[in-house]
Structure 1
Amino acid sequence: MALTESTMVDIGTTAPDFKLEDTMSGAKLTFDDVKGEKGTLVYFICNHCPYVIHTIDELVDVANDYEPKGIGAVAISSNDVEKYPVDSPDNMEAFALNNLFTFPYLYDEDQSVARAYDAACTPDLYLFDGEGKLYYRGRLDESRPNSGKPLTGEDLRGALDDLLAGKPSPEKQYPSAGCGIKWK
């Protein structure tokens, strides 16, 4: 597992639109379908990455905690399923159900959405404001597998709290880190 950091797209970038299949419902969903009134979390994840497995409970908790506050959430997997069949849509559905997702888990088969977002790793986290402008991109917190540091979600939760309080985007943002997206 080679550690890859997120690319840290410019704050203020408009959220690229998409139309991807939700592996749980079969519906084709767009950014507008998943966005929240006050903001939207976009998680690039996969089923097998140890960094995702380490953080998935907290990622789900963050989405659940902020949904009542007007924050939408979506997870997207863009990995090459021919080389990594564990990340197939059927396995994505099982992963979402096992981890109690309350938000869609979309399959980016041609990897165009990951490229549009300049996603680099799993997990790669983006928070857009209510206007669809990038407000935060970076890590959940400083915990990593086997680091001994507890999962708190403090970086992402702090950004969400600042967004909801009408504060400017946090000045200091650290890149997310995890497995590189498995490109075709």
Structure 2
Amino acid sequence: MARTPSNMLPLGTLAPDFTLLDTVSGKTVSLDELKSDKATVIMFICNHCPFVKHVDEAIVSLTKDYQAKGVSVIAISSNDVENYPQDSPELMKEEAEKVGYTFPYLYDETQEVAKAYDAACTPDFYVFDKDLKCAYRGQLDDSRPGNDKPVTGKDLRAALDEILEGKEVSAPQIPSLGCNIKWK
């Protein structure tokens, strides 16, 4: 597993539009359909990455807490499924159901969406404000597999709290770290 950091999309960047297959519902959905008028979290994840597996429970917990506050959460997998078949759309649906995702888990077959967001790793987190401008990008928290730090979601939670209060994110934004996206 390559330890790859986020590229850190510039703050204020407008969320690139997309229309992708939601592997859970089987429907094609767009950012415009899924966005929130409060905040929208977009994360790049995949099924097999040990960094994602390490934070899965925290992602589910955070999502439930913030969906109740009107935040939209969207997950996207952009990995090459020919060389990484465990990340196929069929298995994405199984993983979402097994882990308990309450958000769309989208398949970026062409990898164009990952490129538009300058995504580099899994997990890679972005938060867009009510105007779909990037207000936060970076880590969930500072826990990583094997570093014995608890998985709390504190960085992403703090950013969401400030965005929901209409404030700019005040804490330093630290790149996420994970497996590199498996490019074709």
Pairwise same-fold verdict (TM > 0.5): yes
Counterparts of 1:17-166 in structure 2 under 5 Å?
A: 17-166=17-166
Question: Which letter maps to 1:42?
Answer: I
Structure 1 stretches lacking a partner, 5+ long: none
Instruction: Report deviation, 1:152.
Output: 0.7
Distance 1:169 1:12 in 2: 12
Q: Is the 8 A contact 1:41 1:63 kept in 2?
A: no
- Do residues 168 (structure 1) and 141 (structure 2) align? no
Q: Deviations over 1:7-60 (max 9, x none)?
A: 011100000010000001111111111111201000100000000000111112
Aligned twin of 2:5 = 5
Aligned residues between the structures: 184
Question: Which letter maps to 1:115?
Answer: K
Question: Which letter maps to 2:87?
Answer: D
Distance 1:44 1:56 in 2: 12
Question: Which letter maps to 2:143?
Answer: S
Instruction: Report deviation, 1:171.
Output: 4.9
Distance 1:12 1:170 in 2: 14
SS at 2:68 equivalent = helix
Q: Deviations over 1:81-138 (max 9, x none)?
A: 0000000000000000001111100000000000000000000000000110000000
Distance 2:70 2:17 in 1: 19
**Considering only aligned residues, what root-mean-square deviation do their CA atoms show, in Å?**
0.7
SS at 1:127 equivalent = strand
Runs of 4+ in structure 1 displaced over 2 angstroms? none
Structure 2 stretches lacking a partner, 5+ long: none
Distance 1:10 1:134 in 2: 7
